[in-house]
Chains A and B, each alone.
Chain A
Amino acid sequence: MAGSTSSWSRALVQISPYTFAAIGIAIAIGVSVLGAAWGIYITGSSLIGAAIKAPRITSKNLISVIFCEAVAIYGVIVAIILQTKLESVPSSVMYAPEALRAGYAIFASGIIVGFANLVCGICVGIIGSSCALSDAQNSSLFVKILVIEIFGSALGLFGVIVGIIMSGQITWPSNAA
């Protein structure tokens, strides 16, 4: 009988894999956009405040805002990739082990991408705000602090890489079972 091995298993096999898949896709896009928004408001408010006395910094420092926006784009890309991997299987095989594994893979992939982009967005936002403030005082610092921002934005890429590698595990049972 399926799920007889442990109490966790008995609870988990009752949940449809499509539940996990849908929640995973929602987390991938929703939490990534949350991270991007968090970063944008941190950077934007510092940028506008610093530009009062140094209006020259405005157009150059918009690149920090664009770095944060890229995090949201990563979330959109992975959410669309995961959506295309969703297949409809007949109810006879919906709780088959392979279908369960596909559901769990989409869920974990969504969590990875969502939360990695969340922390990346906040990190890039904080550094972007420092970049704007120090650029307002000494314009040679802009490029140097931008290097630190590039290190920060690599974290979102790590999440996307692992999410896409894990999406290769998503195989649903074929209809003839």
Chain B
Amino acid sequence: MSSSFSGDETAPFFGFLGAAAALVFSCMGAAYGTAKSGVGVASMGVMRPELVMKSIVPVVMAGVLGIYGLIIAVIISTGINPKAKSYYLFDGYAHLSSGLACGLAGLSAGMAIGIVGDAGVRANAQQPKLFVGMILILIFAEALALYGLIVVGSSKFIFDHLEYGCFSAFIWWLLCTCCRIKKGFLADDKACESFHLSTAVLCRLGLCVCDPIH
């Protein structure tokens, strides 16, 4: 049995802890963002109930952070297979660093999204022109989580899993389409159109890159 197991014995400890860190810290960020924005929405909704559904955007963006953590945790934990592929301490430490990078970036992005979402929805209730500004700041905060994903991507394994990047671009494109179909949700302004177009372009580019590899 030991002949089919190649690599260092304790390397899976660090690998599994990397997967744990990715999910747990991303979930902490998502929970903070959801709770803080949710309190703001509930407080604001007492005075302006018609704005509540429009103000759920920070909550959705915080939820996406949990999905980033989930994807990275699953990729890491299915990559630890010492019987199929030798798993040395190098691989274990690489997985640990990837998980920590993604997780802590998600935690910080979640905290930013929570505080900005809370202030933003309360301000939007008093001054409707602030909606686009709040969305732009939330997108910058969400990009922090993407920085963590980029570092993870420059580790060895995401080049084998580029289709996950395509998939998340596709999900964002789907969300945008659904929002624009319900006309009253995100009125047709330039920021929304450009975001929609960029997700479509990213998805198409990703597919072009994936096809030659596989």
Contact = CB atoms under 8 A, between A and B. Distances in A.
Interface string A133-177: 110011011001101110110110011011001100100011001
Interface string A98-116: 1011001101110110011
In terms of DSSP, what is the predominant structure of the interface of chain B?
Answer: helix
Interface in B114-148: none
A112 B19 contact: yes
Q: What is the interface of chain A mostly: helix, strand, loop, or mixed?
A: helix
A130 interface: yes
The CB with the most chain B CB atoms within 10 A, among A105, A116, A137, A173, is that of: A116
B45 A145 contact: yes
B63 A154 contact: yes
Contact of B12 (A3, A105, A134, A177): A105
Contacts of B42: 127, 130-131, 133-134, 141, 145, 148
Interface stretch (A4-12, A53-61, A77-85): A4-12
Contacts of A145: 38, 41-42, 45, 52
B52 A141 contact: yes
B2 A162 contact: no
A104 B19 contact: no
A14 B38 CA distance: 47
Interface of B: 1-2, 5, 7-10, 12-13, 16-17, 19-20, 23-24, 27-28, 30-32, 34-35, 37-39, 41-43, 45-46, 49, 52-53, 56, 59-60, 62-63, 66-67, 69-70, 73-74, 77-78, 80-82, 89
